[in-house]
Amino acid sequence: MLDQDALRWEALLSRDPAPDCGAFLYAVTTQGVYCRPGCPSRPPLRRNVRFYADAPSAEAEGFRACKRCDPKGERAAIHAAAIRAACDLIEASEATPSLATLADRAGYARHHFLRLFKEITGVTPHSYAASVRARRLQASLAAGDRVAEAVAGAGYGSESRVYEAPGRVLGMTPGAARRGGEGETIRIATATSALGPLMVGATESGVCFIGFAEDFDALEGDVRQRFPKARIEPAPEALAETVRQVVAFLEEPKAALALPLDLRGTAFQRRVWEALQAIPFGETRTYGQMAVAIGAPRAVRAVARACAQNHVSLAVPCHRVVGADGDLTGYRWGVPRKRVLLAKERAGAKG
């Protein structure tokens, strides 16, 4: 088994910003600087490297922070504050501010601002503004405003722009959103699984809910909260095969749970959910690694939120994401069950 320094050296060479061996910094004796493991500079010779747990330890021995990878996070904090201010401006504006306006306010060149914005938030300013408009539209429709008024108030030029791609904007038509899902039918079916009561919900498009480990009333309450005015219809026969697959997976996971899904979320959430589905069976990833996987290495918190907002557990395996130190962190259905799921998947992968 490799010792701690050997693991750190491997992480340094692979430029892994969130290594499994835990957080660390490394110093290069010939340059007098210390860096993060993901530093883009040329890898040093092993004999010139020293490893440290934190910045004070490296600085105590005379090393200074690298200007390229910013190991103390000072430059990153300045960038994050600038992007936060840009997001606030988008939120407060009736019309979407131009890229030039946002970049000038932040004090950056347009191309540099665009790169920073996408790196920190995971989306472009245009996509972020689109999500703000969609949120305003959703709130107005939920409050009972007429569709035309809600569309205009949210900043859309016309109703046609919303109706052209309702799934991308709201996950449903504006009329259905205004009615709280009224007009839709959500079929549900229940079973007893290895991890407690199980409920599956599905629309005509696919599975929209998988929940377990709570009593059936609570699980149905989750479905109704998401679709408050939809028709909830028991359909044990229609969903029998789907339920059988989920129960079998909870009993003895052997492969990915492949089901037709009705995923409704923002563009960023969908990117995260697709990345979750790409995690190999029997393996885990950290939130930092997931952020890197979707091309937004600084959007770790946003990735964590998207994982928490996943409504189809198991099919979109958010249980395969852990903290940087290996801690199981939170899980909608309980950390003990997350531990059981991961143990079963590791055993299944070895078998």
**Cα–Cα–Cα angle for 301, 305, 307, nearest 5°?**
115
Residue 149 phi/psi, 5-degree rounding, is -70, -40
Strand 64-65 vs strand 185-193: parallel, antiparallel, or unpaired? unpaired
For residue 141, give Cα distances in angstroms to 90, 181, 234.
21, 11, 28
Distance between CA atoms of 180 and 183, rounded to whole angstroms?
9
Element (H, E) at 242: helix 240-251
39 among known catalytic residues: no
Q: Any catalytic annotation for residue 307? A: no
Return phi, psi of residue 192, to 5°: -105, 130
Q: CB count, 10 Å around CB of 58?
A: 23
**Residues 332, 309 contacting (CB under 8 angstroms):** no
Q: Are 329 and 322 in contact (CB under 8 A)?
A: yes
Q: From the candidates 35, 87, 208, 307, which is the catalytic residue?
A: 35
**Count of CB atoms situated within 10 Å of the CB of 337:** 19
Cβ neighbour number for residue 295 with a 10 Å cutoff: 12
From the list 39, 66, 307, 318, the catalytic residue is 318
- Any idea which residues carry the catalytic annotation? 35, 318
